[in-house]
Amino acid sequence: MENELLFAGESNYFGGLSNEEELVRACPEKFKADNEWSDYAMILFYEGAETTNWKWISDSRDERVKQLSCLNGLLGTFGIKHQDKEAVAGWMLSKMLKKVPAHIARESSDC
């Protein structure tokens, strides 16, 4: 049931998810306090990351693409408070991945 709610939103044209406010209301309290999932979500928000070492829960490529799309939409929102974005993104990651991965920085290209 949680996954249906978490990954049901559609990405908005200028960032955000169609159901982001509903996700904020449903987010479990444990993600609103310091925790490794929400901390990792903020690393993704500020620095990006390679996902090559992610251990996905789902074996379905389509499901993983949908989950990543929802996570990216949420991280790109301006419609909710930053603390709420951090909590919901951590909650999403906890339902996407088997464990919090070690951060691998995204390669930057020098122009």
Residue 50 neighbours by CB under 8 Å, 6+ apart? 104, 105, 106, 107
Structure tokens at 89: 């993104």
Q: Per-residue pLDDT tens for 79-110? A: 999 999 999 999 999 999 999 998 777 765 45
User: Could you report how far apart the first and last alpha carbons of the chain are, in Å?
Assistant: 45
Output the pTM of the full model.
0.89
Q: Per-residue pLDDT tens for 25-48? A: 999 999 999 899 999 999 999 988
